Structure 1
């Protein structure tokens, strides 16, 4: 595991120490878990933004509409069998 050094405001360090003590886990583990969750939230937000951009892209809408027409045709063909 790599070592990382950073500076934080005293108020945040105090809150970190208090919370780590209450949860009975080391401060570095609390920071690690918090950072992992935060990075996942960022990733999810970026993923959602990419869908929003796609929803407003005329080319993507056209591709989706073409795809849905093919999907409906496949479903109709399957129902006939």
Structure 2
């Protein structure tokens, strides 16, 4: 694990200390968990945005619709078995 040094505004440091005490966790663990949640949220937003962009792309939509038709045929074949 690498050491990282940073400064925080006083009000955030007070809130961090209070939260760490309430959760009975070291401050660095609270920061680690908060940062992980934040980074995960950014990834989800990027993922959602990629779907919004794809929905506007006619070529992507055509490929998706073609793929859905094939998938539907496969499902119908499974029902016949």
- TM above 0.5, yes or no, is yes
Residue 45 (structure 1) aligns with:
45
State the match for 2:16 in structure 1.
16
Q: Cα RMSD over matched residues?
A: 1.3
Alignment of 1:44-63 (within 5 A): 44-63=44-63
Aligned positions, number? 81
Unaligned runs of 5+ in 2: none
Q: CA deviation at 1:80?
A: 4.1
Stretches of 4+ moved more than 4 A in 1? Answer: none
SS at match of 2:5: coil
Q: TM-score, normalised by structure 1?
A: 0.89
Which sections of structure 1, spanning at least 5 residues, go unmatched? Answer: none
